[in-house]
Amino acid sequence: MTVSEVDQPPQTTDDAQALAARCLALEERLDRLEAAQPEDKVAIVVFSGDLDKVLASFVIATGAAALGQEVSMFFTFWGLSVLKKQRKLEGKNLFEKMMATMSPSSSKQLPVSQMNYFGIGAKMLRKMMADKNVASLEEMIEMSQEMGVKMLACEMSRDVMGISEEELISGLEPAGVAAFLGESLRSRTNLFI
Amino acid sequence: MSEVTFDDELDARGLNCPMPLVKARKQIGSLDPGQVLKVVSTDRGSIKDFQGWAKIAANIELLAQETEAEDDQDLFLHYVKRVN
C-alpha cells in the first residue's frame, strides 16, 4: 500500500474492513512493544567482596534511587560478606568452618582489592573517606534500605558457602537466578561488580 | 545574589557524592508541587549531578545553578522545583 492510497478515504466496505483489521494488528503490536520496553530500573550484581568495589556499587545504587530509579542488588559469592552481621560456626561442617574463618565476619572486615596489606589498606581507606566526609559503607547500606533498594541474597551461593540466615542482616529477599533476571531483563542499566 | 525565590533550603556543605543528591531527593518529597528547594553544596560534582537528576526525573525541574565564594571555598547552589 502506498502513502497516497492510505491518505485516500476508503472507497468500499472491503477497504474499510481491511483498514480496521490493519489498525487492530498494529495496536496489538504496539502493546507487545510497550510491554517489552525497559523500565526505569537498575539491576546490580554484587559478586565482589572487596570494600572499594562494593562502595562503588552502593554509590550507584543510592544515586540511582535518589534519581527515582527502582534499584535491585543481587548479592552472590564473595558479595554475600557485605550482608554479614556476625560469624556463627555452630552447625557448619569442616569446609564451611574454614570458609567462614577465612572470610570477613561482617561488612566492617572487607578487604580492599589493591594495597590491602592484611587489612591496613582497608582501614586507611575508611579513615580517608571519613576525613573527606564520605558516607561509610554501613551508612550506605542503611540508606539504601531506607530508600527502598531491593536487596536479594543468592540462595545457592549462600548454601554452598554454608552461610546461615542468622549471619545476615535483616530485610533481605532470598533469590535465585530467575528472580534476578526478572529484574535485570526489564532494567535499563545492568551492572556486574 | 540570585533572583530565584525558594521555599525551603538544604545545607549540604561538606557532604560528598552521593549525599547531596540523596538528601535533596528526601527533602523535596516534603515540599508541595510548585515549591522550590535551594541546595547549598561544597561538592563540585553536584553541578553535573543535579543536571543529571533533572534530566532523568520527571517530577523536578532545575531552575538555576550558581557558584558563590564563601571564605576559602566555593559554594554550589542549586534551585530545584518540585513539578508534581
- Whether residues A69 and B18 touch (CB distance < 8 A) is answered with no
Q: Which of A92-96, B36-40, B66-70 has the highest mean pLDDT?
A: B36-40
If you ran DSSP here, which 8-state letter would residue A3 be given?
Answer: H
Non-local CB neighbours of A180 within 8 Å, separated by 6+ positions: A43, A45, A72, A74, A152, A154
Percent of chain B with pLDDT over 70: 98
Q: For residue B77, how many C-alpha atoms fall within 13 Å in the half-sphere facing its CB?
A: 19
pLDDT on residue B12: 93
**Do B81 and B61 form a contact (C-beta atoms < 8 A)?**
yes
For residue A62, the chain B residues in CB contact (below 8 A) are 18, 22
CATH code assigned at A82: 3.40.1260.10
Ranges in chain A, pLDDT < 50: none
In this structure, the answer to whether residues A85 and A114 fall within a common structural domain is yes
A29 and A100 housed in the same domain? no
Which residue out of B19, B41, B51 would a mutagenesis test of the A interface target, given it has the greatest number of A Cβ atoms within 10 Å? B19
Q: Which domain holds residue A86?
A: 39-192
Task: List strands edge to edge, sheet with B36-41.
Answer: B8-12, B36-41, B73-82, B60-70
Nearest to B57 among A67, A133, A134 (CB): A67
Supply the mean pLDDT for chain B: 91
* Residue A129 Cα distances to A14, A101, A150, angstroms: 73, 28, 25
B/e letters for A39-75, b = 16+ CB within 10 Å, e = fewer, are ebbbbbbbbbbbbbbbbbbbbbbbbbbbbebbbbbbb
Answer yes or no: are the C-beta atoms of A76 and A163 closer than 8 Å: no
Residue B53: closest C-alpha in chain A = A67
Q: List the 31-50 stretch of B: residues with Cβ below 8 A of A.
A: 49
Complex-level ipTM beyond the 0.95 threshold: no
Residues A86 and A151 in one domain: yes
Chain B contacts of A63, Cβ < 8 Å? 17-18, 21-22, 49
State residue B57's pLDDT score.
Answer: 85
Q: What is the mean pLDDT of residues B51-57?
A: 89
- Cα A123 to Cα A99: distance, rounded to the nearest angstrom: 22
Tell me: do A104 and A43 sit in the same domain: yes
A159 and A65 within one domain: yes
Gap from B10 CA to chain A (nearest CA, Å): 15
Whether residues A88 and A13 share a domain: the answer is no
| CA nearest to A134 within chain B | B16
- Are A32 and A50 in the same domain? no
CA distance B47 to chain A (A): 14
Complete DSSP assignment for chain B: ------SEEEEETT--TTHHHHHHHHHHTTSPTT-EEEEEE--TTHHHHHHHHHHH-TTEEEEEEEEEEETTEEEEEEEEEE--
Q: What is the pLDDT of residue A45?
A: 97
Section B74-79 average pLDDT: 94
B47 is catalytic: no
CB atoms within 10 A of CB A162: 17
Q: Which domains does chain B have, with CATH numbers?
A: 8-82 (3.30.110.40)
Cα separations (Å) of A143 from A34, A63, A97, A108, B18? 33, 11, 32, 16, 11
B11, B14, B16, B17: which is the annotated catalytic residue? B17
Q: Which of A40, A66, A134 lies nearest to residue B22, judging by beta carbons?
A: A66
* CA distance, residue A130 to nearest chain B CA (Å): 10
In contact, A120 and A183? CB cutoff 8 Å: no
* Whether the Cβ atoms of residue B2 and residue B36 lie closer than 8 Å to each other: no
Same domain, residue pair A48 and A100: yes
Same structural domain for residues A7 and A101? no
Question: Do A120 and A155 belong to one domain?
Answer: yes
All three cell numbers of A57, joined, read: 556499587
Tell me: do A82 and A111 sit in the same domain. Answer: yes
A73 and A130 share one domain: yes
Residue A56 sits at φ, ψ, to 5 deg, of -60, -45
The total number of structural domains in chain A stands at 2
Q: According to the model, what pLDDT value does residue A8 have? A: 66
